[in-house]
Amino acid sequence: MNTRKTALHSTLKTLPDTYRGFNLKRIFTAASYRLLPGACLLCGLSAGHDIDLCSACEQGLPRLGLHCDICANPLNTVGICGRCLNQRPTFSTVQTPLLYQYPVDLLLQHFKFSGQLAAGKVLSQLLARHIKEKTEREKCPLPDLLIPVPLHWKKRFFRGFNQCEIITRELSAQLHVNYSRYTIKRITNTPAQHHLSRKERQRIPGNTFVAGRASQLLHEARVALVDDVLTTGSTVEALSRTLIKEGAKSVEVWLLARTPLDN
Ligand SMILES: [Zn+2]
Ligand SMILES: [Zn+2]
């Protein structure tokens, strides 16, 4: 594990370390990633297929096993968790292939806080593949519209990007489903979720999200809301309520990874 962790750190360190605004570093990151694919992000060996992970590292990723049919909380059995039985969420289901554990947590942190696009792209590709396999297996249609979880404009400005938009763009390209970041907007700047206790995270003010300038796209649409990682689910619940109120027919949630509810 330590060797893999060291390999991951050194591989990621070789990439540019920030991604803020429109600058040369950002262009270089995108261009070099396009031109020089093929090394596994975790061990540095040849990836050898359409994703920057070798087969061994990909097989070693922490997969979501048995889980709640609605919120994807890991369970020991099939069915619906107590929390969803108590209070049924507004969204119909949560789809994700991975658990938020090493090395997924490290990849996601490098993507989100250091702007490592390659890490974000790999995780988005794994999610796209999971969705493709599910829709083919269950013969269910893809949604009409993908919507990234919005950041408050101040947070987006200071971070330089919204990681959920980058994931959504990749999913849209892979699955050929339209996306829009203007159907809904966040008007309250809530503190970063990972700094808060679970109780605090569950308190999302009712007026956090409102319709955006393209909210007419929501009319009768089957929507997939795209987030990076789900913890308590209070943000996606608040968003789902607003999307339904603004005319969406149904909302499902797509995530890069799922944190167990009790963590
Ligand atoms: Zn590898
Ligand atoms: Zn549940």
* Residue 160 belongs to a domain: yes
DSSP string, 17-64: S---SS-HHHHHHHHHHHHS--B-TTT-SB--SSSSS-HHHHHTS-B-
Q: Please choose, from the candidates 106, 118, 133, the residue with its C-alpha nearest in 3D space to the C-alpha of residue 37.
A: 118
Instruction: Give residue 17's pLDDT.
Output: 42
Instruction: Give residue 198's pLDDT.
Output: 55
* Residue 30 belongs to a domain: no
Instruction: Give residue 8's pLDDT.
Output: 53
Host domain of residue 80: 64-258
CA 134 to centroid of ligand 2, rounded, Å = 19
Per-residue pLDDT averaged across 100-114, rounded?
93
Query: Of the bound ligands, which one is closest to the alpha carbon of residue 41?
Result: 1
Domain harbouring 123, CATH code: 3.40.50.2020
Instruction: Give the span between the Cα atoms of 211 and 66, in whole angstroms.
Output: 35
CA 83 to centroid of ligand 2, rounded, Å = 6
Instruction: Give the span between the Cα atoms of 238 and 242, in whole angstroms.
Output: 6
Per-residue pLDDT averaged across 170-190, rounded?
92
* Residue 5 belongs to a domain: no
pLDDT surpasses 90 at 92: yes
Percent of the chain with pLDDT over 70: 77
Query: Of the bound ligands, which one is closest to the alpha carbon of residue 94?
Result: 2
CA 228 to centroid of ligand 2, rounded, Å = 18
pLDDT surpasses 80 at 158: yes
Instruction: Give residue 207's pLDDT.
Output: 75
* Residue 37 belongs to a domain: no
Tokens read off for 77:
């059995």
* Residue 38 belongs to a domain: no
Whole-prediction pTM: 0.82
Cβ 168 vs Cβ 134: under 8 Å: no
CA 92 to centroid of ligand 2, rounded, Å = 10
Ion ligand 2 — residues with CB < 5 Å = 68, 70-71, 73, 81, 84
List beta partners, residue 67: 74
* Residue 17 belongs to a domain: no
The residue among 204 and 44 whose pLDDT is bigger is 44
At 225, phi and psi to the nearest 5? -90, 125
Q: How many domains does the chain have?
A: 1
CA 80 to centroid of ligand 2, rounded, Å = 5
Average pLDDT, the chain: 84
Instruction: Give the span between the Cα atoms of 255 and 263, in whole angstroms.
Output: 17
Q: Which amino acid is at 148?
A: P
Residue 160 pLDDT class (50, 70, 90 cuts)? confident
Residue 35 pLDDT class (50, 70, 90 cuts)? low
The alpha carbons of the chain give a radius of gyration, in whole angstroms, of: 18
Query: Of the bound ligands, which one is closest to the alpha carbon of residue 57?
Result: 1
CA 100 to centroid of ligand 2, rounded, Å = 17
Residue 168 pLDDT class (50, 70, 90 cuts)? very high
List beta partners, residue 46: 39
Q: Which amino acid is at 94?
A: V
- Segment holding 80, helix H or strand E: none
Percent of the chain with pLDDT over 90: 62
Instruction: Give residue 47's pLDDT.
Output: 85
Per-residue pLDDT averaged across 7-22, rounded?
48
Residue 257 pLDDT class (50, 70, 90 cuts)? very high
Per-residue pLDDT averaged across 153-175, rounded?
91
At 219, phi and psi to the nearest 5? -55, 115
Query: Of the bound ligands, which one is closest to the alpha carbon of residue 44?
Result: 1
* Residue 246 belongs to a domain: yes
CA 55 to centroid of ligand 1, rounded, Å = 7
* Residue 13 belongs to a domain: no
Query: Of the bound ligands, which one is closest to the alpha carbon of residue 81?
Result: 2
Instruction: Give the span between the Cα atoms of 15 and 234, in whole angstroms.
Output: 34
CA 118 to centroid of ligand 2, rounded, Å = 31
Cβ 96 vs Cβ 256: under 8 Å: yes
